[in-house]
Amino acid sequence: MSDKKRWRQVDGVLLLDKPTGMTSNSALQAARRLFSAAKAGHTGTLDPLASGLLPLCFGEATKFSLDLLVADKTYEAEMLFGVQTDTGDADGVIVRRCPVDFGLAEVEAVLPRFRGPLEQIPPMYSALKRNGQPLYEMARRGVEVERAARAVTIHSLRVLGFSGHRCRLRLTCSKGTYVRTLAEDLAAALGCAAHLTALRRVAVGVLDVVEAVPLDQLAALSEDERGEWLRTPDTLLQSLPAIQLDSDAGHRFVHGNAFSAAAEAGKYRVYSEGRLLGIGDVDGSGRLQPRRVVAGSAPAP
C-alpha cells in the first residue's frame, strides 16, 4: 500500500501515557501509525526516562500545540540523595558520592526556598542549542559551556514520601523548568548531592494523566475502539474563554476579517454553530482579530 493511500486526514488530540525508555518522538510516530494520521505533532517532549502524559495532536489540532507548550506542568519525581550523575538522572554516570546526614524534617525546611519564582541554570545534558548544536552533544564530548540562568516558577512543591535516601516529590511548575536541576539544587541546599531516579508527568494544564491511554493498550484496540480515545482539537484550548458567533460573523472570522465583539480584551477560542473556528484576540477597543483558523470550519451560509 502506498503512503499516499495509507495516510489519512485525522483531526484530534490523543492523551497518551508515554512509557519509560521511549523518546517522545518515537511515541508520537507509533501513535501516528496506529491512526494512519497524515499530520501529527506533540506539545512538548518528555525525556526517555520519564513516563506520563504526552498530549499528541493530529491534523488541524497541530495548529494549537504551541498553546499547550506554555501551559504549567505537574510532575511526580523520585530523587536519590547521596549520588550525583553527569546527566542529573539515572541514565548518567556516577560522578560523586556523599554522606546523607539529614531526614524528612530538613528536606521540608528547605522546600520554601524553591517555591515561587526562581532562576535555574539549564543542564548540559539538555536539548538547548549553542550555535545550532544541542548541548547534550557537547556534553557527550566532555565539553561544558556557560549557560545563562532562566526564570521559572514553581507553583507548588511538596514531599510525597521519604524513605532511606530516597525522596518523592510532587510539583507544579512553569514551562522550561528542569526537574533534574531542581533535584540537584535542592540537594545542594542540604549540603549534599542527588539525581532523579524516576519522573512522571501527571498533568499538562487542565489535562490529567488519569484520562490518558498507554501505548500498548492503544495498539491492542480495534480501529473503532481506538477512535474513541481521540478528542476534539479544542481539548488543547480549554484554558481559554469561548466566544460564540452567529453564522455571518463566523464567515467573516474564518476569512480573516476583524470585527467588533462583545468581549473583554484577551485570547479566545471561537465557535459558530457548535464548531470550533479557531482562536482570536480581542484588543482593547473590543475588536476580534483571527489568529489561527481551522480548515473547513466555515459555518453553512
DSSP code of residue 65: H
Q: DSSP state, 63?
A: G
DSSP SS3 for 279: strand
Q: What is the largest CA-CA distance in the chain?
A: 73
DSSP state, residue 38: S
**Residue pointed to by grid coordinates 492503544:** 218
CB 72 within 8 A of CB 184: no
Phi, psi of 23 (to 5 degrees): -75, 160
Let me know if 72 is a catalytic residue.
Answer: no
Q: Which three cell numbers stand for residue 281?
A: 484576540
CA quadruple 145, 146, 148, 152: dihedral positive or negative?
positive
Nearest Cα to Cα of residue 89 among 38, 47, 152, 140: 47
The CA distance from 41 to 51, in Å, is 18
Which residue among the candidates 11, 17, 47, 89 is catalytic per the annotation? 47
User: Which residues lie below 8 Å from residue 105, measured CB to CB, with a gap of 6+?
Assistant: none
State the Cα–Cα distance between residues 13 and 10, nearest whole angstrom. Answer: 9
Catalytic site positions: 47
